[in-house]
């Protein structure tokens, strides 16, 4: 540490009345880290490692499951890393990792990070993001390693860890270890997660309202069993990749995507490749314009292919069950070709039905019907459904929740979040939901990151690059300001960089409004936020 002695002398002169704080600031952080014994606070845990991370260094993770695709992570901030194996039952455990910044940079805040899909992969990039802003940060493996659900087979306790328990363990133990490490309590705790991690955040607020003061939720995998069924249905709807009427990726990305933009792009008054009004688009879009006519067989679709397109974008409804899940996001088909529209079974759904719903590793995805959807909902493995109709306890505890969901989501339909929000409003009529929960639809945002719109709002490490950490431009900063200063956000300013590269400059900025409002074009240069204002569409 440069100028260490001078810094310590200055602190001692200025703060003689606070000897304990001075000692913490002046002591050798590396020694403090390596001498830390987490078992003094958590005697039931097993230590996997305690290590010091120097500033501006790359940390490798040789023992991380390769399917997590996280072999290493660059850390700007020095930190103390602690990894523990914590039993959750007599046949399950979870790995939790804790990262502590130096005492003089810790802001007194704790940040829990979520996972994705059905995986057990710690998002080290989000941990580094939290450290950069002075959080003591935690992550867990959800009770299993890697992206597969095989660990669920015949072990309901592992499913329970995945559903909610692992995150609760991380929150509770994170608070204990943070106090032990710094010698003082944290003053606020936060959570950040998208997709499966978003679902975990809502589950935490519902089941353990005291775990977090602020919860940042992105594209949550709500109504998880029916969502898994909807995803499984795509293999049946599109057919296998080599089937006669299969629509290939080139057709989805070109012919179909261009027709959707032709019918819907300019509904907001701007031709920019972004569907700003997805509900209006759903009401008018017709795939019939793509039907081959007059013996034409190119740049058009067969009658059966037209019906496939119609079914993909229609709500998933069954005569016996009723409404199951909203239709695929119009405009998301370009990235949708990577998974749901690829003509292969969606892996997360396949694993959920095989290892969690049926405990049958040979279940055939080609046999899927809505009867499987009904069975998944009946079994509800690990209580993973996640569709709370009240968050009153979270509200009463003083908690705040910010939700964002891209309207160009190729994996989890944004309308599902809005449907849950509407149910929540209807069921909590005695409460003003705006006082503790706000949702922001983000046109042009794909699943959690990337997209054609002003998608960077600081929602994760990738989306934070080049975006100021302010309440106006960063959802995590906005959540902190709401929790700690009682300033609730009405809009978040999104940024789109040229080629998604901050070094190339800003392509456009646009406000994203508190749902149900939307950004309305006022005329002028559509790439600047002053040309838009929030209003009812």
Query: How far, in Å, CA of 397 to CA of 303, rounded?
Result: 55
Which pLDDT score, from 0 to 100, does residue 380 have? 99
Q: Tell me the catalytic residues.
A: 195, 409, 447
For residue 237, give the nearest of 333, 287, 305, 285 by alpha carbon. 305
Q: What one-character DSSP code corresponds to residue 222?
A: -
Residues of the chain whose pLDDT is less than 70?
1-27, 430
For residue range 206-265, what is the model confidence (pLDDT) as tens digits?
Answer: 999 999 999 999 999 999 999 999 999 999 999 999 999 999 999 999 999 999 999 999
Helix (H, G, I), strand (E, B) or coil at 387: coil
Alpha helices in 257-332 (DSSP H): 257-264, 278-284, 303-313
Which pLDDT score, from 0 to 100, does residue 298 have? 83
Which pLDDT score, from 0 to 100, does residue 94 have? 99
**Do the beta carbons of residue 349 and residue 231 sit within 8 Å?**
yes
**Do the beta carbons of residue 62 and residue 37 sit within 8 Å?**
no
């Amino acid at each position: 540490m440069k100028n260490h002695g001078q810094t310590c002398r200055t602190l001692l002169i200025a703060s003689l009345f606070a000897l304990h704080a001075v000692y913490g600031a002046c002591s050798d952080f590396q020694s403090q880290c390596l001498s830390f014994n987490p078992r003094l606070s958590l005697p039931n845990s097993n230590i996997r490692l305690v290590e010091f991370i120097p500033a501006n260094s790359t940390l490798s993770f040789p023992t991380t499951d390769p399917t997590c695709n996280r072999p290493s992570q660059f850390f700007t901030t020095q930190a103390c890393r602690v990894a523990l194996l914590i039993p959750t039952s007599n046949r399950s455990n979870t790995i939790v990792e804790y990262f502590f910044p130096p005492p003089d940079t810790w802001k007194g805040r704790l940040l829990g990070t979520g996972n994705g899909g059905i995986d057990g992969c710690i998002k080290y990039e989000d941990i580094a993001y939290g450290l950069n802003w002075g959080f003591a940060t935690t992550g867990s493996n959800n009770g299993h390693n890697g992206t597969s659900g095989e660990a669920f087979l015949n072990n309901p306790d592992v499913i329970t860890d995945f559903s909610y328990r692992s995150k609760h363990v991380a929150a509770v133990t994170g608070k204990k270890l943070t106090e032990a490490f710094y010698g003082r309590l944290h003053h606020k705790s936060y959570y950040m997660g998208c997709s499966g991690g978003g679902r975990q955040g809502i589950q935490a607020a519902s089941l353990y309202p005291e775990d977090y003061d602020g919860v940042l939720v992105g594209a949550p995998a709500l109504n998880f069993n029916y969502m898994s069924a909807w995803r499984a249905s795509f293999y049946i709807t599109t057919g296998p990749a080599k089937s006669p009427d299969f629509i290939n990726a080139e057709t989805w990305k070109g012919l179909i995507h261009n027709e959707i933009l032709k019918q819907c792009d300019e509904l907001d008054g701007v031709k920019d490749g972004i569907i700003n009004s997805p509900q209006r688009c759903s009401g008018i879009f017709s795939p019939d314009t793509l039907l081959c006519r007059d013996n034409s067989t190119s740049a058009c679709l067969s009658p059966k292919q037209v019906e496939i397109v119609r079914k993909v974008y229609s709500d998933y409804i069954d005569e016996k069950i009723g409404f199951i899940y909203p239709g695929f996001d119009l405009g998301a088909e370009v990235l949708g070709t990577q998974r749901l529209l690829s003509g292969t079974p969606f892996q997360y759904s396949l694993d959920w039905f095989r290892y969690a719903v049926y405990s049958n590793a040979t279940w055939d995805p080609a046999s899927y019907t809505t009867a499987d959807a009904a069975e998944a909902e009946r079994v509800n493995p690990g209580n993973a459904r996640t569709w709370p109709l009240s968050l009153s306890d979270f509200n009463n505890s003083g908690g705040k929740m910010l939700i964002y969901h891209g309207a160009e989501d190729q994996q989890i339909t944004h309308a599902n979040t809005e449907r849950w929000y509407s149910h929540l409003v209807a069921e909590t009529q005695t409460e003003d939901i705006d006082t503790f929960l706000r949702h922001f639809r983000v046109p042009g945002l794909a699943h959690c990151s990337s997209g054609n719109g002003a998608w960077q709002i600081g929602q994760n490490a990738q989306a934070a690059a080049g975006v100021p950490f302010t309440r106006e431009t960063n959802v995590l900063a906005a959540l902190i300001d709401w929790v700690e200063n009682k300033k609730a956000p009405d809009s978040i300013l999104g940024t789109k960089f040229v080629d998604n590269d901050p070094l190339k400059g800003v392509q456009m900025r646009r406000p994203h409004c508190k749902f149900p409002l939307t950004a309305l074009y006022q005329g002028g240069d559509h790439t600047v936020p002053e040309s838009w204002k929030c209003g009812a569409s």
